[in-house]
Structure formats: structure tokens, C-alpha cells
Amino acid sequence: AENQLRQSQKMEAIGQLTGGVAHDFNNLLTVILGGLETIERQLATPGKDPLARIGRAVAMARQGALRAATLTARLLAFARRQPLQPKPIDASRLVTGLADLLQRTLGATIALETVAGAGLWPALADAGELENALVNLAVNARDAMPEGGRLTIETSNACLDEDYVAGVPEPLPAGHYVLIAVSDTGCGMDQVALQKAFEPFFTTKDVGKGTGLGLSQVYGFTRQSGGHVRIYSEPGHGTTVKLYLPRCLDTRCVDTVAPQPENQASP
Ligand code: ADP
């Protein structure tokens, strides 16, 4: 019986993994299809500066396809039982590098703003998983702002001296974190949605639109990295999702972080 239980737990884990990968993969296919549609449209009825538009669309489709290839490589690594390898990363540089793809995901009616904190600590996390998490958050923000709005991604250092109560689901342990705060000006979430948000397959979206796996990927990723995720939201007042990633304390990390402009003081 114990064997059977373990088997069914394994099946459940595989189900969640493949569901999550299919979901992330779908996000990327949307980007690729969007690029191809733009190219088709420009060829049929060329707008202003069609070559530049086609060039941008090709670059976007290419970036999406590249990330999809990374995703399948990770799936293969998992099949070979290689765990994710968290590495020192510069979160603000990662966000900047992803900005085009995120803007593409958000569409023309949503403005993307990125705010980088000065002297940001290196974080310890898997870069590919962090990118997936940010794309998932952008997809949710887009769906929460059908009439348009603003998405702000702010990176900063968070030094918590004491545990403190911080959003859903539970108090945040004291420690040094690299904080990535993702805020939208959308519809917000009610208490029920807030309590269930991280559950796999919980969705309030129409069939075919939502899978309920976006936030569960975000949760799984931050917990696996040794970090935390908190949601602050109120109906009608937008939503902020805060990713607290562990600060990389290895002194060798310093080399991988971009030098700060001279007028910004380092801590
Ligand atoms: P999905 O987006 O496929 O529904 P998620 O796990 O990403 O799955 O989100 C679960 C639910 O949480 C959503 O269906 C929605 O009700 C709510 N939600 C998530 N992010 C936001 C947001 N930024 N604004 C409003 N509601 C949100």
C-alpha cells in the first residue's frame, strides 16, 4: 500500500510538472504566434515602415522560440533527474532583458515600467524559472486590465530584521532578500481568490483562458529557491505580487553583478 501511495504521489507530481510546462510553453507560443501574425499582416497590408515592423516581429518570435527550447531542455534535465541549479543573478538586469517580451505579452494598452534599486544585491535563483514566473505574472496582470493600465516591476534590497506579517499566505521570515515587486492597476482579487491563488488549477478565468497554474509555478519556484512570494490585493485597487528571493552571500557573486553608476551609493 505504501508503494501504491508513493506511486500515486509521483504521478501527481508528474501531472503538475507537465501541466506547468504546457502552461509556460503556451505562453511562449502566444508570443511566437503574435510575431508571425504581425509579419503576415505587414505583408498583406504594409503599414508605416513595414520592414522595421517585420524585423521586430521576427526578433520577438525568435526570442520566444529560444525560450521554448530552454524550457524543453529543462524538462529533459528533469527527466534525467537533474535538479534546478540556482545561480547568482542580477534581478534588475534580468528584468530589463525581459522587458520586450513582457511588453509584447501585455499588449499596447498596458504600459510597462521598470524601476531598479541602487546597489542591488545578487539573488540566488534559477534564471529561466524566474523569467517564467515574470511572464506568468504579466499574463495575469494583462487579464486583470482588459481596459489597459500600468504594470510596474520594481527591484530592491529587502533587509528584514524581524518576521513580519506580509500578505497572503503567511508571515515572512526575517532575512536578507532581493525583492521583485510586480504591481498592476487591475481589477484586484477578493478574499476567496487570495486564499486559493497558489493552488494548482484554481482559476476564475473562462475555460480555455485560465489553467490555474501560473501562480502555482511562481509559488513553487520561489519556495524551491529558498525564497517566498506574497500577494497584496484588494478588489478594484490592483494587485502587487512580491517575490522575495534569497540574497546570494557568496563573495564570488559580486563579479557577476553589473557595476553601479557612480552617483549611486552602495550599501
Ligand atoms: P490563471 O491565470 O490561469 O487563472 P493563476 O494561478 O495564475 O492561474 O491565477 C489564479 C487566479 O488568481 C486567477 O484566475 C485570478 O482570479 C487571480 N489572479 C492572479 N493574478 C491576478 C492579478 N494580477 N489580478 C487579479 N487577479 C489575479
Report the residue count for the chain. 267
Q: Which atom belonging to ligand 1 lies closest to the Cα atom of 212? A: 8
**202-211 residue pLDDT tens:** 899 887 677 7
Q: What is the DSSP string of 34-78?
A: HHHHHHHHHHHS--SSHHHHHHHHHHHHHHHHHHHHHHHHHHHHH
What pLDDT is stored for residue 255 in this prediction? 47
Ligand 1 environment, Cβ below 6 A? 136, 140-141, 144, 184, 186-189, 193, 197, 202-205, 210-216, 239
Which helix or strand (DSSP H or E) is residue 235 part of? none
Give pLDDT < 70 ranges for the chain.
1-15, 74, 77-83, 165-169, 208, 251-267
Pick from 65, 135, 68, 150: nearest CA to 104: 135
Q: Which atom belonging to ligand 1 lies closest to the Cα atom of 209? A: 3
What pLDDT is stored for residue 144 in this prediction? 97
Q: Which atom belonging to ligand 1 lies closest to the Cα atom of 136? A: 7
Residue for grid cell 518576521: 163
Which protein residue has the closest C-alpha to ligand 1 atom 11? 203
Candidate from 135, 203, 222 with most ligand 1 atoms within 8 A of CB, to mutate? 203
14 burial via Cβ count (<10 Å: 0-12, 13-18, 19+): exposed
Q: Which atom belonging to ligand 1 lies closest to the Cα atom of 188? A: 25
Q: Which residues contact 25 (CB under 8 A, 6 or more apart)?
A: 68, 71, 72
What pLDDT is stored for residue 254 in this prediction? 52
**Predicted ipTM?**
0.98
What pLDDT is stored for residue 250 in this prediction? 76
Residue 57 C-alpha to ligand 1 middle, in angstroms? 28
Which protein residue has the closest C-alpha to ligand 1 atom 19? 140
What pLDDT is stored for residue 23 in this prediction? 83
Candidate from 134, 215, 243 with most ligand 1 atoms within 8 A of CB, to mutate? 215
Which protein residue has the closest C-alpha to ligand 1 atom 20? 140
Instruction: Please give the single-letter amino acid code of residue 129.
Output: E
